[in-house]
Protein backbone atom coordinates (compact mmCIF):
# COMPACT_ATOMS: atom_id res chain seq x y z
CA UNK A 1 0.00 0.00 0.00
CA UNK A 2 3.06 2.20 -0.27
CA UNK A 3 1.63 3.84 -3.40
CA UNK A 4 -1.51 5.23 -1.71
CA UNK A 5 -1.30 9.03 -1.91
CA UNK A 6 -2.36 9.30 1.73
CA UNK A 7 0.67 7.19 2.77
CA UNK A 8 3.32 9.66 1.56
CA UNK A 9 1.88 13.04 0.42
CA UNK A 10 2.81 15.04 3.53
CA UNK A 11 5.37 17.79 3.00
CA UNK A 12 6.34 16.68 -0.44
CA UNK A 13 6.28 18.52 -3.72
CA UNK A 14 4.29 16.94 -6.53
CA UNK A 15 6.23 13.94 -7.89
CA UNK A 16 6.83 14.02 -11.62
CA UNK A 17 4.62 10.97 -12.22
CA UNK A 18 1.60 13.05 -11.08
CA UNK A 19 2.28 15.98 -13.43
CA UNK A 20 -0.18 15.80 -16.30
CA UNK A 21 0.76 16.71 -19.87
CA UNK A 22 -0.17 20.39 -20.44
CA UNK A 23 -3.36 19.61 -22.44
CA UNK A 24 -4.73 17.47 -19.63
CA UNK A 25 -4.05 19.90 -16.79
CA UNK A 26 -7.06 21.49 -15.11
CA UNK A 27 -6.36 25.01 -16.42
CA UNK A 28 -8.39 27.66 -14.62
CA UNK A 29 -9.16 26.25 -11.20
CA UNK A 30 -11.87 28.75 -10.40
CA UNK A 31 -14.67 28.14 -12.85
CA UNK A 32 -17.96 30.04 -13.05
CA UNK A 33 -20.73 29.18 -10.64
CA UNK A 34 -23.39 30.61 -12.94
CA UNK A 35 -25.46 28.16 -14.96
CA UNK A 36 -25.18 25.68 -12.14
CA UNK A 37 -26.79 22.28 -12.23
CA UNK A 38 -30.41 21.95 -11.05
CA UNK A 39 -31.33 21.23 -7.43
CA UNK A 40 -34.50 19.13 -7.22
CA UNK A 41 -36.65 18.93 -4.11
CA UNK A 42 -38.05 15.39 -3.89
CA UNK A 43 -40.72 16.42 -1.39
CA UNK A 44 -42.02 19.76 -2.52
CA UNK A 45 -43.84 18.92 -5.76
CA UNK A 46 -46.23 16.45 -7.26
CA UNK A 47 -44.71 13.34 -8.90
CA UNK A 48 -45.25 14.56 -12.46
CA UNK A 49 -43.40 17.73 -11.68
CA UNK A 50 -40.46 15.82 -10.15
CA UNK A 51 -40.29 13.46 -13.13
CA UNK A 52 -40.27 16.46 -15.46
CA UNK A 53 -37.49 18.22 -13.54
CA UNK A 54 -35.33 15.09 -13.39
CA UNK A 55 -35.89 14.43 -17.07
CA UNK A 56 -34.96 17.97 -18.10
CA UNK A 57 -31.84 18.02 -15.89
CA UNK A 58 -30.79 14.62 -17.25
CA UNK A 59 -31.26 15.90 -20.81
CA UNK A 60 -29.47 19.18 -20.41
CA UNK A 61 -26.73 18.44 -17.88
CA UNK A 62 -26.74 14.70 -17.17
CA UNK A 63 -26.38 15.93 -13.59
CA UNK A 64 -28.64 17.21 -10.81
CA UNK A 65 -28.70 17.41 -7.04
CA UNK A 66 -31.53 16.14 -4.85
CA UNK A 67 -32.66 17.51 -1.49
CA UNK A 68 -35.37 16.23 0.87
CA UNK A 69 -34.55 12.81 -0.51
CA UNK A 70 -35.44 10.74 2.56
CA UNK A 71 -31.93 9.64 3.62
CA UNK A 72 -31.53 10.86 7.24
CA UNK A 73 -28.91 13.61 7.51
CA UNK A 74 -27.34 12.09 10.64
CA UNK A 75 -26.75 8.86 8.70
CA UNK A 76 -25.07 10.85 5.90
CA UNK A 77 -22.85 12.62 8.46
CA UNK A 78 -21.94 9.40 10.25
CA UNK A 79 -21.16 7.66 6.96
CA UNK A 80 -18.91 10.55 5.91
CA UNK A 81 -17.13 10.36 9.29
CA UNK A 82 -16.36 6.64 8.98
CA UNK A 83 -15.27 7.09 5.34
CA UNK A 84 -12.77 9.73 6.49
CA UNK A 85 -11.66 7.54 9.40
CA UNK A 86 -11.08 4.65 7.04
CA UNK A 87 -8.82 6.71 4.76
CA UNK A 88 -6.94 8.01 7.84
CA UNK A 89 -5.89 4.45 8.83
CA UNK A 90 -2.31 3.35 8.21
CA UNK A 91 -1.54 1.84 4.80
CA UNK A 92 -1.03 -1.52 6.49
CA UNK A 93 -4.44 -1.43 8.18
CA UNK A 94 -6.14 -0.39 4.94
CA UNK A 95 -4.51 -3.34 3.17
CA UNK A 96 -5.66 -5.78 5.88
CA UNK A 97 -9.19 -4.37 6.06
CA UNK A 98 -9.71 -4.69 2.30
CA UNK A 99 -8.30 -8.21 1.81
CA UNK A 100 -11.06 -10.26 3.39
CA UNK A 101 -12.60 -11.54 0.16
CA UNK A 102 -10.46 -13.76 -2.12
CA UNK A 103 -12.93 -12.89 -4.90
CA UNK A 104 -12.13 -9.21 -4.40
CA UNK A 105 -15.63 -7.86 -3.85
CA UNK A 106 -13.80 -5.32 -1.64
CA UNK A 107 -10.42 -3.77 -2.39
CA UNK A 108 -8.39 -0.60 -2.24
CA UNK A 109 -6.46 1.08 -5.03
CA UNK A 110 -4.89 4.38 -5.91
CA UNK A 111 -5.09 6.61 -8.99
CA UNK A 112 -7.04 4.77 -11.71
CA UNK A 113 -6.75 1.04 -10.87
CA UNK A 114 -4.14 0.76 -13.66
CA UNK A 115 -1.36 2.13 -11.50
CA UNK A 116 1.33 -0.13 -12.92
CA UNK A 117 0.67 0.69 -16.58
CA UNK A 118 -0.77 4.22 -16.68
CA UNK A 119 1.29 7.09 -18.13
CA UNK A 120 0.67 9.38 -15.16
CA UNK A 121 -1.04 9.04 -11.82
CA UNK A 122 -4.07 10.72 -10.33
CA UNK A 123 -4.21 12.29 -6.87
CA UNK A 124 -6.71 9.89 -5.34
CA UNK A 125 -7.07 6.76 -3.22
CA UNK A 126 -10.20 4.64 -3.49
CA UNK A 127 -11.95 1.97 -1.45
CA UNK A 128 -14.49 -0.04 -3.43
CA UNK A 129 -16.93 -2.74 -2.39
CA UNK A 130 -20.13 -4.44 -3.42
CA UNK A 131 -23.24 -3.62 -1.38
CA UNK A 132 -26.11 -5.83 -2.42
CA UNK A 133 -27.21 -8.31 -1.18
CA UNK A 134 -25.91 -6.88 2.07
CA UNK A 135 -25.85 -10.27 3.91
CA UNK A 136 -23.56 -11.63 1.22
CA UNK A 137 -21.04 -8.80 1.10
CA UNK A 138 -20.92 -7.09 4.49
CA UNK A 139 -18.63 -9.83 5.89
CA UNK A 140 -15.92 -8.62 3.48
CA UNK A 141 -16.16 -4.92 4.39
CA UNK A 142 -13.59 -3.23 6.66
CA UNK A 143 -13.92 -3.83 10.42
CA UNK A 144 -11.81 -0.74 11.10
CA UNK A 145 -12.90 1.90 11.87
CA UNK A 146 -14.98 -0.20 14.31
CA UNK A 147 -18.30 1.38 13.28
CA UNK A 148 -17.77 0.94 9.53
CA UNK A 149 -20.22 -1.93 9.03
CA UNK A 150 -22.72 -0.66 11.58
CA UNK A 151 -22.97 2.73 9.82
CA UNK A 152 -22.32 1.89 6.17
CA UNK A 153 -24.82 -1.02 6.17
CA UNK A 154 -27.85 1.22 6.87
CA UNK A 155 -26.34 4.05 4.80
CA UNK A 156 -26.05 1.92 1.64
CA UNK A 157 -29.53 0.46 2.23
CA UNK A 158 -31.00 3.98 2.31
CA UNK A 159 -29.01 5.24 -0.67
CA UNK A 160 -30.01 2.13 -2.60
CA UNK A 161 -33.69 2.91 -1.98
CA UNK A 162 -33.13 6.47 -3.15
CA UNK A 163 -31.26 5.22 -6.24
CA UNK A 164 -34.11 2.92 -7.26
CA UNK A 165 -36.60 5.72 -6.67
CA UNK A 166 -34.65 8.04 -8.95
CA UNK A 167 -34.28 5.29 -11.55
CA UNK A 168 -38.05 4.87 -11.42
CA UNK A 169 -38.55 8.61 -12.05
CA UNK A 170 -36.16 8.38 -15.00
CA UNK A 171 -38.00 5.27 -16.26
CA UNK A 172 -41.29 7.14 -16.16
CA UNK A 173 -39.77 10.10 -17.95
CA UNK A 174 -38.53 7.83 -20.73
CA UNK A 175 -41.59 5.56 -20.79
CA UNK A 176 -39.47 2.43 -20.25
CA UNK A 177 -38.70 0.27 -17.23
CA UNK A 178 -35.13 0.23 -15.90
CA UNK A 179 -35.42 -1.06 -12.30
CA UNK A 180 -35.44 -4.76 -13.30
CA UNK A 181 -32.20 -4.36 -15.27
CA UNK A 182 -30.02 -3.43 -12.28
CA UNK A 183 -27.15 -5.77 -11.42
CA UNK A 184 -24.18 -4.72 -9.27
CA UNK A 185 -24.59 -2.07 -6.62
CA UNK A 186 -21.22 -0.74 -5.61
CA UNK A 187 -19.85 1.81 -3.17
CA UNK A 188 -16.70 3.70 -4.14
CA UNK A 189 -15.19 5.84 -1.39
CA UNK A 190 -12.81 8.36 -2.98
CA UNK A 191 -10.21 10.25 -1.02
CA UNK A 192 -8.23 13.22 -2.37
CA UNK A 193 -5.58 14.43 0.12
CA UNK A 194 -4.45 18.10 0.06
CA UNK A 195 -2.29 18.51 -3.02
CA UNK A 196 1.00 20.46 -3.31
CA UNK A 197 0.10 21.81 -6.77
CA UNK A 198 -3.54 21.51 -7.91
CA UNK A 199 -2.78 23.26 -11.21
CA UNK A 200 -0.65 20.35 -12.47
CA UNK A 201 -2.70 17.29 -11.55
CA UNK A 202 -6.24 15.96 -11.12
CA UNK A 203 -8.08 13.81 -8.60
CA UNK A 204 -10.02 12.17 -11.42
CA UNK A 205 -9.62 12.90 -15.12
CA UNK A 206 -12.49 13.72 -17.48
CA UNK A 207 -14.74 10.65 -17.67
CA UNK A 208 -18.28 9.35 -17.96
CA UNK A 209 -19.48 6.72 -15.53
CA UNK A 210 -20.13 3.24 -17.03
CA UNK A 211 -23.28 2.74 -14.91
CA UNK A 212 -26.98 3.65 -14.99
CA UNK A 213 -26.67 6.31 -12.30
CA UNK A 214 -24.38 7.42 -9.52
CA UNK A 215 -25.69 8.78 -6.22
CA UNK A 216 -22.79 10.82 -4.84
CA UNK A 217 -22.20 12.13 -1.33
CA UNK A 218 -19.67 14.89 -1.94
CA UNK A 219 -19.25 16.51 1.52
CA UNK A 220 -18.58 20.23 1.83
CA UNK A 221 -15.37 20.53 -0.17
CA UNK A 222 -15.39 21.79 -3.77
CA UNK A 223 -13.77 19.60 -6.41
CA UNK A 224 -16.36 18.08 -8.77
CA UNK A 225 -16.80 19.74 -12.16
CA UNK A 226 -19.06 18.94 -15.13
CA UNK A 227 -18.15 19.53 -18.78
CA UNK A 228 -20.99 21.35 -20.52
CA UNK A 229 -20.94 23.37 -23.72
CA UNK A 230 -17.13 23.14 -23.84
CA UNK A 231 -16.82 24.62 -20.34
CA UNK A 232 -16.23 23.26 -16.88
CA UNK A 233 -18.91 24.08 -14.34
CA UNK A 234 -18.73 23.51 -10.61
CA UNK A 235 -21.05 21.19 -8.72
CA UNK A 236 -21.56 23.28 -5.64
CA UNK A 237 -21.54 21.40 -2.32
CA UNK A 238 -24.99 21.76 -0.72
CA UNK A 239 -25.52 20.51 2.86
CA UNK A 240 -27.46 17.22 2.99
CA UNK A 241 -27.85 16.96 -0.78
CA UNK A 242 -26.88 14.06 -3.03
CA UNK A 243 -25.42 14.66 -6.48
CA UNK A 244 -26.90 12.37 -9.14
CA UNK A 245 -25.40 11.76 -12.54
CA UNK A 246 -26.41 9.79 -15.59
CA UNK A 247 -23.93 7.21 -16.90
CA UNK A 248 -23.21 6.38 -20.55
CA UNK A 249 -25.38 3.20 -20.67
CA UNK A 250 -28.44 5.41 -20.07
CA UNK A 251 -27.42 7.75 -22.86
CA UNK A 252 -27.46 4.71 -25.16
CA UNK A 253 -30.71 3.20 -23.84
CA UNK A 254 -32.44 6.59 -24.12
CA UNK A 255 -31.13 6.84 -27.70
CA UNK A 256 -29.31 10.06 -26.89
CA UNK A 257 -32.22 11.74 -25.09
CA UNK A 258 -30.38 11.70 -21.77
CA UNK A 259 -26.81 12.76 -21.40
CA UNK A 260 -24.03 10.68 -19.89
CA UNK A 261 -22.21 13.72 -18.61
CA UNK A 262 -18.44 14.06 -18.58
CA UNK A 263 -16.99 15.16 -15.27
CA UNK A 264 -13.69 15.39 -13.39
CA UNK A 265 -12.31 16.15 -9.94
CA UNK A 266 -9.81 18.93 -9.22
CA UNK A 267 -7.69 18.90 -6.09
CA UNK A 268 -7.00 21.69 -3.62
CA UNK A 269 -3.99 22.53 -1.50
CA UNK A 270 -5.74 23.12 1.84
CA UNK A 271 -8.06 20.31 2.83
CA UNK A 272 -8.62 16.65 2.07
CA UNK A 273 -11.81 15.81 0.17
CA UNK A 274 -13.66 12.53 0.70
CA UNK A 275 -16.64 11.47 -1.41
CA UNK A 276 -18.78 8.34 -1.79
CA UNK A 277 -20.25 7.15 -5.09
CA UNK A 278 -23.09 4.62 -5.01
CA UNK A 279 -23.33 3.06 -8.43
CA UNK A 280 -26.37 1.28 -9.82
CA UNK A 281 -25.11 -0.73 -12.79
CA UNK A 282 -26.90 -2.82 -15.41
CA UNK A 283 -26.65 -6.61 -14.96
CA UNK A 284 -24.07 -8.28 -17.20
CA UNK A 285 -26.68 -9.70 -19.58
CA UNK A 286 -28.62 -6.45 -20.01
CA UNK A 287 -28.54 -5.39 -23.63
CA UNK A 288 -27.21 -1.87 -23.82
CA UNK A 289 -29.10 -0.59 -26.84
CA UNK A 290 -31.61 2.14 -27.72
CA UNK A 291 -35.03 1.16 -26.32
CA UNK A 292 -37.44 0.01 -29.08
CA UNK A 293 -40.03 2.56 -28.09
CA UNK A 294 -37.53 5.39 -28.56
CA UNK A 295 -36.55 4.38 -32.09
CA UNK A 296 -38.63 5.21 -35.18
CA UNK A 297 -38.16 6.54 -38.69
CA UNK A 298 -37.39 10.03 -37.49
CA UNK A 299 -35.30 8.82 -34.53
CA UNK A 300 -33.00 6.09 -35.88
CA UNK A 301 -30.98 4.05 -33.39
CA UNK A 302 -27.82 6.03 -32.64
CA UNK A 303 -25.99 3.15 -30.97
CA UNK A 304 -25.21 -0.49 -31.57
CA UNK A 305 -26.53 -3.18 -29.27
CA UNK A 306 -24.27 -5.14 -26.96
CA UNK A 307 -24.53 -6.90 -23.60
CA UNK A 308 -23.34 -4.83 -20.66
CA UNK A 309 -20.33 -7.09 -20.07
CA UNK A 310 -19.13 -6.33 -23.62
CA UNK A 311 -19.94 -2.65 -23.17
CA UNK A 312 -17.55 -2.68 -20.20
CA UNK A 313 -14.77 -4.14 -22.35
CA UNK A 314 -15.22 -1.28 -24.85
CA UNK A 315 -15.37 1.21 -21.98
CA UNK A 316 -12.06 0.00 -20.56
CA UNK A 317 -10.48 -0.07 -24.04
CA UNK A 318 -11.47 3.57 -24.63
CA UNK A 319 -9.69 4.40 -21.37
CA UNK A 320 -11.92 7.34 -20.35
CA UNK A 321 -11.80 8.86 -23.85
CA UNK A 322 -15.52 9.48 -24.31
CA UNK A 323 -15.18 10.37 -27.99
CA UNK A 324 -13.45 7.06 -28.70
CA UNK A 325 -16.20 5.25 -26.79
CA UNK A 326 -18.94 7.10 -28.71
CA UNK A 327 -17.24 6.14 -31.96
CA UNK A 328 -16.87 2.50 -30.95
CA UNK A 329 -20.58 2.25 -30.15
CA UNK A 330 -22.18 4.62 -32.66
CA UNK A 331 -24.15 3.26 -35.65
CA UNK A 332 -23.10 6.19 -37.84
CA UNK A 333 -19.29 5.86 -37.92
O1 LIG B 1 -15.39 12.52 -6.09
C2 LIG B 1 -16.21 13.06 -6.83
O3 LIG B 1 -16.67 14.19 -6.64
C4 LIG B 1 -16.68 12.34 -8.07
C5 LIG B 1 -16.37 10.89 -8.12
C6 LIG B 1 -16.63 10.26 -9.45
O7 LIG B 1 -16.77 10.90 -10.46
C8 LIG B 1 -16.72 8.80 -9.53
O9 LIG B 1 -16.60 8.12 -8.48
O10 LIG B 1 -16.93 8.29 -10.65
FE1 LIG C 1 -17.56 9.64 -12.07
The model's pLDDT over 230-279, given as tens digits with 9 standing for 90+, comes to: 989 999 999 999 999 999 999 999 999 999 999 999 999 999 999 999 99
Q: Residue 52 belongs to a domain with what CATH number?
A: 2.60.120.330
Task: Output the pLDDT for position 32.
Answer: 62
User: In the beta sheet, which residues pair with residue 276?
Assistant: 189, 217
The ligand 1 atom at the shortest distance from the C-alpha of residue 203 is 1
φ, ψ for residue 5, nearest 5 deg: -55, -40
Task: Output the pLDDT for position 297.
Answer: 95
- Asked if the model's pLDDT at residue 322 lies above 90, the reply is no
| Count of structural domains within the chain | 1
Angstrom distance (rounded) from CA 301 to CA 294:
8
The ligand 1 atom at the shortest distance from the C-alpha of residue 223 is 3
* Summary mean pLDDT of the chain: 94
User: Does residue 320 lie in a domain region?
Assistant: no
pLDDT band at 73 (very low <50, low <70, confident <90, very high): very high
User: Does residue 316 lie in a domain region?
Assistant: no
How close are the terminal C-alpha atoms of the chain, in Å? Answer: 43
What's the ipTM?
A: 0.99
Q: Around Cβ 23, how many Cβ atoms within 10 Å?
A: 6
User: Does residue 213 lie in a domain region?
Assistant: yes
pLDDT, tens digit, for every residue of 195-240?
A: 999 999 999 999 999 999 999 999 899 999 999 999 899 999 999 9
Which ligand places an atom closest to the C-alpha of 190? 1
Check: CB of residue 282 under 8 Å from CB of residue 312. no
Strand 63-67 vs strand 39-41: parallel, antiparallel, or unpaired?
Answer: parallel
User: Does residue 223 lie in a domain region?
Assistant: yes
User: Does residue 145 lie in a domain region?
Assistant: yes
User: Does residue 222 lie in a domain region?
Assistant: yes
Residue 244, helix vs strand vs coil = strand
Write out the residues surrounding ion ligand 2, Cβ under 5 A.
Answer: 209
Residue 35, helix vs strand vs coil = coil
Task: Output the pLDDT for position 9.
Answer: 86
CA of 277 to the centre of ligand 1 (A): 6
Secondary element (H or E) of residue 52: helix 47-60
204 lines ligand 1 (CB under 6 A): yes
pLDDT band at 35 (very low <50, low <70, confident <90, very high): low
CA of 199 to the centre of ligand 1 (A): 19
Angstrom distance (rounded) from CA 156 to CA 167:
16
Range of the domain at 92: 27-287
Dihedral over Cα of 248, 250, 255, 257: its sign: negative
225 lines ligand 1 (CB under 6 A): no
- pLDDT higher at 27 or 219: 219
Q: Which of 232, 263, 266 to mutate to test the pocket of ligand 1 (most atoms within 8 A of CB)?
A: 263
User: Does residue 176 lie in a domain region?
Assistant: yes
DSSP H helices, 175-262, are: 248-253
Check: CB of residue 222 under 8 Å from CB of residue 237. yes
Which residue is closest in CA terms to ligand 1's atom 10? 209
User: Does residue 132 lie in a domain region?
Assistant: yes
Amino acid sequence: MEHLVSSWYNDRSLPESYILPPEKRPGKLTVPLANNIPVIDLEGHDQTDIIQQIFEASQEFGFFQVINHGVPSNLMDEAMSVFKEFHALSGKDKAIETSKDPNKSCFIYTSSANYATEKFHLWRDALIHRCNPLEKYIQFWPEKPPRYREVVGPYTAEVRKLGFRILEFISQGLGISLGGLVGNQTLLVNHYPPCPDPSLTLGLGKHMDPVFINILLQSDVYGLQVFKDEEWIVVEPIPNAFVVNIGFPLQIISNGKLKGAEHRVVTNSNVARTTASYFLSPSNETLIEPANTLVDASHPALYKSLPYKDFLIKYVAASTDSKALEEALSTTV
